[in-house]
Each structure stands twice: as structure tokens, then as C-alpha cells.
Homo-oligomer: A and B are copies of this chain.
Amino acid sequence: MRDFLPEEASARARVRRTIEEVFQRYGFDPLETPACERIETLLGKYGEEGDQLLFKILKRGEGSERGEVDMGLRYDLTVPLARVVAMHPAQIQLPFRRYQIQPVWRADRPQRGRFREFVQCDVDIVGVESIAADAELIAVADAAFRALGLTDYRMRINHRAVLRGMIEAAGVAHEREGDVLVAVDKLDKIGPDGVHSELVARGFPTSVADRIGALLRARDAAPEDGLAVIEEFAGSTDAGRHGLAELRDLVSLVGDYGLDPGRWRVDPVLARGLSYYTGPVFEANLEGMPGSVAGGGRYDGLVGMFSGRDIPATGIALGFERLVVLLSERGAFEGQGAHADVLVAVLSATDRSASTRLSQTLRAHGLNVELYPEDRKVGAQLKYASRRGIPFAVLSGPDERSRGEVQLKDLRTGEQASIAEEDLVERLRSALTL
């Protein structure tokens, strides 16, 4: 788990704020849930591996001596959403459009780019069967990426029923579906030819491996071509026809949002790991970044596990931590240092009173001002401000004050000039383009 020192914390806050504004632009409202959930709420929701990765909290009092556990740290934001919808039926009207940006905790072995505490960034629509809700989620994710300046992402869309239909149509027995998916899941690592060999090695006939291979090669086609491939490979099955019809609707609905068609694909082999998906699934990737930066899909069964009645739901999660890393690598945060616009230096103890009043004036005009809090040499104060990335410093001693002036120093260029104190706010505001 990581400390975020000011520069990083500021960058994260900016990314978060950008994403939040987009979510609000699309009519989503915030939800916050506690870090701790009852252990029964969490156990059994994430598979056996997930149970192992829960951080468990010891009971207080007597139970603690027996090592008893009553709560666990939140593992994702989807289970808490399902619990909330079930617990507060009177306050939550459906459709419920919520976003939630909070940390989750997983006791994974720490490794590069994986953390035990990380922020998830979920946006979901609960209570809507229509595929229009899924289209809205693809559109909001697109808008978030664009707001972050990331236009080189690619969103891939599929439908769970399509996948079932294709495997059935390829002549794979129902009980061997899993084997096919395991091989297909290695695509990014071993390529389409590797998947073909793997399928043959696992005892599938060459005809099956050929069909799957053809599908894998179709994943980078335009949406219309992707639909044609699905028709060809899955149209003969009930599941395939159902999935295809929903995907066609989805493609048409997404088109109405005006997304750049180059940015999204129908990918006939996109599966998404989580077993609770029931309909459309989505995943976004960025050039040169392994893994996904967003993913989601429809999970019509999960909310019902808590509320005891069927409530459809669909959602997408942005990979907040990955996005921060990527934006940082691309220099998106460069030159964004301290929040302070200006350091007001204090030339000597007797100047503090005047410098304090000057700071207050600048603050009242909306400038972010750091007043140096100690009596130290001016050189040390300016060095401190430079290292902090504060762009300007203001110096004012008795001489300046007697003339109604201040010294304004641009810490980026080193330039320093006397200016009338009454012009200071305007000069700073225009230099900072506030």
C-alpha cells in the first residue's frame, strides 16, 4: 500500500475530478459505501481465490482472542452496490444511475503495477433491462477517455450469448467450453497461431481450431464486419441469434452517440473473466499498454442475490490506477507542482505583519498563497519555493512599502522587478492566466 505525496496526490485528484465531471455530465450521481463490509456479504462472491484475497478484520473484545472475524475490507464496488440497492429500497428509485470512486483492497502478492489498495472507478445503471443502458455506459467511458486526452483507446464489445453460440456451433461439447476459453484467453501472449496449436494439443479437431482461429483474426474488424462474422459462426444456434440481435441493437445505439467508429469494435472472442456477466461485455485497451483500462458488462443476477428479486444491472469500471500511470508516462502532469501560485517571503521578523496582510489580500482575490512561516534567509525561502514548483515569489521590505511597491520574482525565469503593490493582483492573475 502506498503513500501519495503531494505531487502524486494532486495528479490523482485531477484525474478523479475529470472522470467525476464526465459521470455527472451523463446524469450519474455519487454513492459512497464504508470500507468494511460484513464478512458474510463478501465471502463466496469472488470465487475461491477471491475469498483468499480478502483482508479480514478481527472482532473486538472477547472474539478477538479466539481470532474471530466479523468484517472484511471492500474487495470491489459491485457487491457493495448490490447490497445498497437491496438495503435501501425506499430511498433508491430505479433506474438507479450511480458512480462510485473509492479504494478497494486485495491481499495480492505485491508486484509491478499491482497494489493491495487501489482506487476503483465504477459507473452502473441498475434496474434497466434495455440494451440502451449498456450503450450509455460505453458512451460515458468514451467521454471520460476523451476528457482525459486519451483518444487512442479502443473499446471492444461482445455478448456472452454470442460466445456460447459460437462454441456450440463449432461443435464443442458444452462441458469442454472452458477448455476453449482457456486457450482463447492466451491470445495476447501466444497469438492466433499459438491458440490454434494449443487447441489441437488439447485434442480438439483441426476443423474446430480452424473456426476458432478465423474468429480470432476477425477481432480487429469494424463493428459491421464483426457482426457478420458472428452471424456466420453463431447464427445457427439460439444463443448466438439472441446475442447477435442484442449486439446489433447495441451497435446501432452506440452509433447514435456519435462515437468515433475507429475507436470501437465488435470482438467475437471477448469473454471478460467474471462469471457473473450475463449479456453484453465491454473492454477498453490503450495502445502500448498491456491489459485493459476499462471493462464491464451486464450482470442481471447479482443484485437479486441480495434483494431476493430480479433486478437487471449493467456497469463499467475505469482502471483508475492504470490511467494515472499512463497519463503520468505521457507527461500529462508535467509542470503541475504545488497548488500555490505565489510565495510571500518574509524578509525579517519585523516584516511579518505586513507580509501577512499582503498574503490575505492576495488570497481574498482568489490566489493560492503560501506565506513563509519561519524567519529564515530570503535565499532559503526562494530556494524552497522553487523546489516546490511555486511559480512566483513576492518580497516586500520597508523600502518597498514606503514606495507602495513590492518585488515580484518569476521563479521559473529568475526575473525580478519592482511593481506597484496595487498592480500585483492583476499582474499575477494574468501571468497565471487565472
Residue positions of A touching B, CB distance < 8 A? 1-6, 9-10, 12-13, 24-36, 52, 55-58, 60, 64-67, 69, 71, 73, 84, 87-88, 91-93, 95, 97-98, 103, 105, 107, 117, 125, 128-130, 132-133, 135-136, 139, 143, 252-253, 256-258, 338-340, 343, 346, 352-353, 356-357, 360, 363, 366-375, 384, 387-388
Within the complex, the shortest CB–CB distance from A414 to chain B, in Å, comes to 20
A91-B387 in contact (CB<8A): no
**Inter-subunit contact A29/B375 (CB<8 Å):** no
Distance in angstroms from A363 CB to nearest chain B CB is 5
Expressed in whole angstroms, the minimum distance between the Cβ of A18 and any Cβ of chain B is 14
Give every chain B residue within 8 A of A34 (Cβ-Cβ): 1-3, 117
CB proximity of A58 to chain B, nearest CB, Å: 4
User: A24-B339, A57-B56, A88-B5 are contacts. A374–B130 as well, Cβ < 8 Å?
Assistant: yes
Given A56-B57, A66-B67, A10 and B30 contact (CB-CB distance below 8 Å): yes
Question: Quick check: A26 and B369 within 8 Å, CB to CB?
Answer: yes
Known A1-B34, A5-B91; judge A58-B60 contact (CB<8 A).
no
Contact in complex: B5, A369 (CB < 8 Å): no
Bound: A252/B353 CA distance, A: 9
Copies held by the complex: 2
Q: How far is the CB of A129 from the nearest CB of chain B, in Å?
A: 7
For the complex, give the distance between the alpha carbons of A155 and B128 in Å: 51
A299 shortest CB reach to chain B, Å: 16
Find A25's partner among B71, B107, B139, B369 (CB 8 Å cutoff): B369
CB of A352 within 8 A of CB of B29, answer no
A130 to B105, CA, bound (A): 41
B35 contacts A130, C-beta separation under 8 Å: no
- Asked if residues B52 and A56 are in contact (CB atoms below 8 Å), the reply is no
From B9, B103, B130, B388, A31 is in contact (CB under 8 Å) with B9
The answer to whether A6 and B35 have CB atoms under 8 Å apart is no
Please tell me which one of the listed residues B1, B29, B56 contacts residue A10 in the complex, with CB atoms under 8 A apart. Answer: B29
A28 to B388, CA, bound (A): 11
The answer to whether B60 touches A52, judged by C-beta atoms less than 8 angstroms apart, is yes
Chain B residues near A27 (CB, 8 Å)? 338-340, 343, 368-371
Please state if A32 and B57 are interface contacts (CB–CB under 8 Å).
no
Min CB gap A135→B, angstroms: 8
A124 CB, min distance to chain B CBs, angstroms: 12
What CA separation (Å) do A5 and B387 show in the bound complex?
A: 42
In the complex, A217 Cα to B128 Cα: how many Å? 64
Q: Within the assembled complex, what's the spacing in Å between the Cα atoms of A176 and B4?
A: 45
Contact flag A9-B35 (CB < 8 Å), given A52-B60, A64-B56, A374-B95: no
- 13 further A-B pairs in the complex, CB-CB below 8 A; given A135-B356, A143-B363: A2-B34, A3-B84, A4-B32, A24-B368, A25-B368, A27-B338, A27-B369, A55-B58, A55-B71, A93-B387, A95-B374, A95-B384, A256-B353
Say how far A111's CB is from chain B's closest CB, in angstroms. Answer: 15
A9 and B32 within 8 A (CB): yes
How far does the Cβ of A84 sit from chain B's closest Cβ, in whole Å? 5
In the complex where A36-B117, A136-B373 touch, is A30 in contact with B56 (Cβ < 8 A)? Answer: no
Q: Is the CB of A258 within 8 A of B360?
A: yes
A-B contact pairs, 16 of them (CB 8 A): A3-B32, A4-B31, A4-B32, A5-B31, A5-B84, A5-B88, A6-B30, A24-B339, A26-B370, A27-B368, A35-B73, A35-B117, A56-B64, A60-B107, A64-B67, A252-B353
Q: How far is the CA of A371 from the CA of B35 in the complex (A)?
A: 31
Q: Roughly how many angstroms separate A143 CA and B125 CA in the complex, as a whole number?
A: 39
Measured between alpha carbons, how far is A117 from B33 in the docked complex, in Å? 10
A9 x B26 contact (CB < 8 A): no
A428 to chain B, nearest CB (A): 13
Question: CA separation between A93 and B139, bound complex, in Å?
Answer: 43
A97 close to B136 (CB less than 8 A): no
